[in-house]
Amino acid sequence: MSIYKGTDMLAGVPNISGAINATLEAIYPVGSIYIGTQSTCPLATIISGSTWVKVSEGRVLQGSDSSHNAGTTIAAGLPNITGSMSSPKQLNANYNLSTATGAFSSGGQHGGSNSIIGPSSSNATYQALANFSAQSSNSIYGNSSTVQPPAYVVNIWERTA
Amino acid sequence: MKVLSTEGLTKLIDLIKSSFISNEDTQATVAVDAVETTAVDAVETNVADESSLTVGSVINQRDNTTAIKTWTGTLAQYNAIATKDNNTLYNITDDVNMSQTLLETLYPVGAIYIGTMVSCPLAALFGTWTKIGDGRVLQNSDSNHAAGTTIEAGLPNHTHSASSNETGAHTHTVGGSDSTTTNPRDGFDLEGNNLYYRTTNINTSSAGKHSHTITVGNVNNNNIYGNSTTVQPPAFVVNIWQRTA
């Protein structure tokens, strides 16, 4: 086709915007992402018939992988932090944590067996156990095996040739 | 879709625009009508020989005197023209289409395309596109991270300490009592065939006020902690620009 022929010339005016629109359609088909600092998407008024929805609010864009498909979201997460600790051994005394809050929890009392330092079977040592799990304080911990900000999953391509 | 060459399109746009320059609405209408009626007649001839064009068929409205001519040929023929005429519409029959030229300009090698489609829509039009950044966020480059590289996840390390220094000087008790009153023992003592040991509690010597510290580093043996001085998700580094003018 040559737009120089016949009535195509008359169609030249709409064809200009049509050509540009076709180009923009090629760049921005349904599912494409536009990023800018403008308050509204400028393409909404440029590409006729297009609808643009603000997505990913409060989220970073993250490339899709086998576990996360494009168009889905990922909640924030961090690896959990766990641990435990015990008090010094106490002879012949029940020994429990009196207070454990937040990420701490009581692991109960450990011991009661015969003590090697005691002179008789009546002597025993006890230890108080404290467990730590950051997840108990904030559910972000343990929600990921990496540093995961709240994310919107997209497909990312790089032109390599 | 086949469309005008870039240059051809530009000239056509200029032609249309020139019809409206410095004209009131009524004048513009007249100008457009003139373009439409005369242009169709002119281009229908599809003249390849510039010398045979009739001056006046289409007038450049910018100066209202220069004839607009048309030219049709291949890209090779077009490229062979040493000096392009500013008042000629060049119709290049085998030119890459304008859209692709524009796309090639907007997306050179190294460009990034982002979408939620399963495949890059531009791959069918031009270039080779490789999916990147799986499981990674995009992060702008800086002096430490060049575009095209990746950054592994990291967080500042956690160090926790607890101390017991509230009681001041104190002693620790050693359990037991003396098994003999005649010769109190500090601990185990072998006298002859007899083993004596303490059966009453005694205190150790005071160590004065001191603290016990527990330090936790490299939490859970997870290398993420301590791998960064900030909150660093796994990232793919790109260059990000903002148009400012």
Write the secondary structure of chain A as one string of H (helix), E (strand) and C (coil).
Answer: CCCCCHHHCCCHHHHHHHHHHHHHHHHCCCCECCCCCCCCCCHHHHCCCCCCCCCCCCCEEEECECCECCCCEECCEECCCEEEEECCCEECCCCCCCCCCCCEEEEEEEEEEECCCCCCCCCEEEEEEEEEEHHHCCCCECCCCCCECCEEEEEEEEECC
Put simply, whether the predicted model's pTM sits higher than 0.95 gets the answer no
Greatest mean pLDDT among A84-88, A134-138, B39-43 lies in A134-138
Distance CA(B18)–CA(B39), nearest Å, equals 14
In angstroms and rounded to an integer, the radius of gyration of the C-alpha atoms of chain B is 44
Closest CA of chain B from A62, distance in Å: 4
> In a structure prediction context, what are the per-residue pLDDT tens digits for chain B, which is 245 residues long?
334 455 555 555 554 444 333 333 333 333 434 444 344 344 434 444 445 445 556 777 777 778 888 888 887 888 899 988 888 888 777 655 666 777 788 899 999 999 999 999 999 888 999 999 999 999 999 999 999 999 999 998 766 555 544 444 555 555 555 555 555 555 555 556 666 655 566 666 666 665 555 555 555 567 888 888 889 999 999 998 887 77
Closest CA of chain A from B36, distance in Å: 6
Which whole number is the average pLDDT over A143-153? 94
pLDDT in tens, B50-74: 454 455 567 777 777 788 888 888 8
Across the interface, whether the CB atoms of A81 and B219 are under 8 A apart is answered yes
Across the interface, whether the CB atoms of B1 and A81 are under 8 A apart is answered no
Confidence of residue A7 (pLDDT cuts 50, 70, 90): very low
Across the interface, whether the CB atoms of B231 and A147 are under 8 A apart is answered yes
Mutation site for A-interface testing, chosen from B91, B97, B116, B158 by largest number of A Cβ within 10 Å? B116
What mean pLDDT value characterizes chain A? 78
Q: B62: buried, middle or exposed (CB in 10 Å: 19+, 13-18, 0-12)?
A: middle
In chain B, residues 60-119 whose CB comes closer than 8 Å to chain A = 70, 72, 89, 91, 93, 98-99, 102-103, 106-118
- What was the ipTM of the complex prediction? 0.75
Across the interface, whether the CB atoms of B116 and A62 are under 8 A apart is answered no
Q: Which residue on chain A is closest to B70 by alpha carbon? A: A4
Between A122 and B111, name the one with better pLDDT.
Answer: B111
Predicted local distance difference test score (pLDDT) of residue B184:
53
Contacts of A91 in chain B (CB under 8 A): 173, 175
Residue with tokens 């900030």: B230
B155 touches A at CB < 8 Å: yes
Please say if the pLDDT value at position A71 is more than 70. Answer: yes
Predicted local distance difference test score (pLDDT) of residue A24:
85
Compute the CA torsion angle A140, A141, A143, A149 (nearest 10 deg). 50
pLDDT in tens, A45-61: 888 889 999 998 999 99
